[in-house]
Structure 1
Amino acid sequence: MSDIELHRPLINQQGSRAALNTPALVLDRDALERNIATMAAFARAHNIALRPHAKTHKSVHVARLQMAAGARGVCCAKLGEAEALAGQGISAILITSPVVTPQAIARLVALHERIGDLMVVADHPSNVDALAAATRDDASHPLPIIVDIDPGIRRTGVASPEAALELAQRIATAPSLRFAGVQFYCGAQQHIESFADRRAAISDRTTYLQSVIDLLAANGLAPEIITGGGTGTHRIDAGLGVINELQVGSYVFMDKQYLDCDLSGEAIPPFETALYIDAHVISANAPSMATIDAGFKALSTDGGNPAIAAGAPVTSAFFFMGDEHAALIAPGHEFKLGDSVTLTAPHCDPTVNLYDAYHVVRGDTLIDIWPVTARGRSR
């Protein structure tokens, strides 16, 4: 039985969150909307565009809220995510990873024909040539290409300003393509905990980005879109004034990785936790120890252990106990069978991908169930 079938009878019943079968992915609707409004207001105040990254939420419902608040579109990490969101009406999408195989390029071209505002990144001449060949019969509707610039992590992106210029020129000379700008995502710097250290690191990388932009501009290819940044660096990026479009993602939910960072330079988190994992105690046969029904299959592990949000002492020690279970240890605390325990996600993006649906709550009441639209769409 799906989450929607299982829990639909609980919608709008007072206190129904407590009756959820667990583990369950829970979304605080009010906190979500405040986070979206806070980032939208920040972008307006700093005259910077928002194109939030949907790889975080994979949800057409969240994407609609973001665009209603002023976002110009969304980012998708993978073509499959873009197809899923476009299938439910999201028509302004940037795919932030290169699309290179013949079968994937065919899908990209089909998606480009279906929606009005699709862009994709490229970082290699042969990929640009393949995209040009696949779209050559539709020069009246050129495919916008963003040149991906490697910020130093050697994941994707051109490796030098000269390579960026060569690629932009190649795009500009293809009748069925359009050079639309550059992408510069400093993923390695997003989770530096100290604001001052993070700012120093981003300032250094932005100096490099500016050198790429200067070379492009000197050759008649000044980029219209300079997209990148993230939740960890959005204030820094806006202050430096080079990036003109933010790809923020995790701000909508927040997770332990970002809560451990000083995002504002004022030690006050600008965003609230909106995403939770609800669990229950299923065994409590040892003093001060309990087993809950949320293990590796309920929480991503790349961000460390989750924090306790409710239902147990916040000082409880958390230990994964396998695929289905975890242990909580809290000296002096008496756990009881059936106790509800609420956890925060260590890393929200891969945690969301473990679930079919969000259980949307207001206070202690389930008010809606939203499918995770692009769950598993990693191809």
Structure 2
Amino acid sequence: MDDRQLHAHLIGRQGSRAALNTPALVLDLDRLDRNIAAMQAKATAHGVALRPHAKTHKSSDIARRQLAAGAVGLCCAKIGEAEVLSDDGVTRLLITSPVAAPGAIERLALLAQRAPGLAAVVDDPAVAARIEHALAAADATLDVMIDIDPGIRRTGVASPAAAVALATAIAACPHLRYRGVQFYCGMQQHIEDYATRRAAIEERTSYLGQVIAALAAAGFPPTIVTGSGTGTHAIDLALGVFTELQAGSYVFMDRQYLDCDLDGSGGAPFETALMVDARVVSANHAALVTIDAGFKSLSTDGGAARVTTGAAPETAFAFMGDEHAALIAPDIGLRLRAGDPVTLTVPHCDPTVNLYDHYHVVRGDTLVDIWPVSARGRAR
């Protein structure tokens, strides 16, 4: 049985969250909406557009809430995510990873036919030419951003000169419309100390300025400078170079970002809206209980999950395989019994969401809706 078959009868029933089969991906609707409003207000106050990254939530329902709050569009990591959101009526999508494989380029051209405001990044003149050929065959046009390598060496042009060469190549393609540049400093997003993170971003922003200056001098001033993220949004807004932000995880706030001082205040500008509800399945040892959420239920790349309810906050978490994890604390096996509920803050929200088919949307202790993870698994 899928989540709707299991749980649809619980929607609207007071206290129904406690009856969910676990592990369950739980989304607090009021916290989600407050997070959406808070980031939108920050961007608007600085005169900067917000284009949230849908790779975090992979949800048409959440994307529509972000657009309704004032977002100019959404970002997608892969063309598969963009296809799903576009077919669900979400417009003005930017694909933030280069589309280079022949089959993917064909799909990109077909998507450009039916997706209003679609844009994509490029970092290679030869790939730009292949996209141009596919667009010509499909009688479609596409907005493009030049992806700039911020030092990760993952994607992006590697120098100001390479950016100018690519802009020149794009200008020769009648079906491509050069709109600007993308610059995402992924390595800096999770630096926990604010001052250290700011210093790192100031240095990288200086380099971005060199690329923008080279493009402008060559006759290609970018209209859009897009990038940033949840970890650096406050710094980037203060520095004033970006025209739009691509922050994504702020809607949920996973442990990786909760461990960071995001804005220098030492406080938390966003709330934890995403959780995994689990249950104790075995409690036969005094200092350890086993829960029903393991590798298949939580990401493994962001450290340990954190217990928020059902056990003391200092309780240690340890994976115990595909289906299970341990909660470790003195006498925890004497306090918790099999069947008892616990709630966890996820280590890294993006890959955790990709493990589930649905969000269980709650207000307080009541299930109010079940939303599909629309673009789950659409990594190609």
TM-score, scaled relative to structure 1? 0.98
* CA RMSD in angstroms, aligned pairs only: 0.9
1:81-109 Cα shifts (integer Å, max 9, x gaps): 00011110011100000111111111111
Determine the structure 2 residue equivalent to 1:178. Answer: 177
Cα distance in 1 for partners of 2:141, 2:293 equals 48
- Counterpart code for 2:51: R
Cα distance in 2 for partners of 1:168, 1:231 equals 29
Determine the structure 1 residue equivalent to 2:267. Answer: 268
Instruction: Give the paired residue count.
Output: 378
Shift of 1:110: 0.7
Is the Cα–Cα contact under 8 Å of residues 75 and 95 in structure 1 kept in the other structure?
yes
Question: In the TM superposition, what are the counterparts of 1:1-379 in structure 2 within 5 Å?
Answer: 1-137=1-137, 141-333=140-332, 334-379=335-380
SS of residue paired to 1:117: coil
SS of residue paired to 1:150: coil
- Counterpart code for 2:177: R
4+ long deviations beyond 4 Å: none
Q: Tell me which moved more, 309-318 or 223-232.
A: 309-318
Is the Cα–Cα contact under 8 Å of residues 53 and 76 in structure 1 kept in the other structure?
yes
Unaligned runs of 5+ in 1: none
Cα distance in 2 for partners of 1:282, 1:136 equals 58
Is the Cα–Cα contact under 8 Å of residues 137 and 176 in structure 1 kept in the other structure?
no
Cα distance in 2 for partners of 1:268, 1:170 equals 46
Cα distance in 1 for partners of 2:345, 2:144 equals 37
SS of residue paired to 1:179: strand
TM-score, scaled relative to structure 2? 0.98
- Counterpart code for 1:116: P
Cα distance in 1 for partners of 2:137, 2:310 equals 60
1:9-28 Cα shifts (integer Å, max 9, x gaps): 00011100000000000000
Shift of 1:142: 2.5
Cα distance in 2 for partners of 1:18, 1:137 equals 55
Cα distance in 2 for partners of 1:182, 1:342 equals 41
Shift of 1:134: 1.0
- Counterpart code for 1:185: Y
- Counterpart code for 1:323: D
Cα distance in 2 for partners of 1:377, 1:225 equals 27
Cα distance in 2 for partners of 1:101, 1:315 equals 47
Is the Cα–Cα contact under 8 Å of residues 93 and 117 in structure 1 kept in the other structure?
yes
Is the Cα–Cα contact under 8 Å of residues 72 and 92 in structure 2 kept in the other structure?
yes
Cα distance in 1 for partners of 2:176, 2:358 equals 37
Shift of 1:137: 4.7
Unaligned runs of 5+ in 2: none
Cα distance in 1 for partners of 2:251, 2:149 equals 26
1:253-290 Cα shifts (integer Å, max 9, x gaps): 00000000000101011000000000000111111321
Cα distance in 2 for partners of 1:298, 1:67 equals 29
Cα distance in 2 for partners of 1:332, 1:91 equals 53
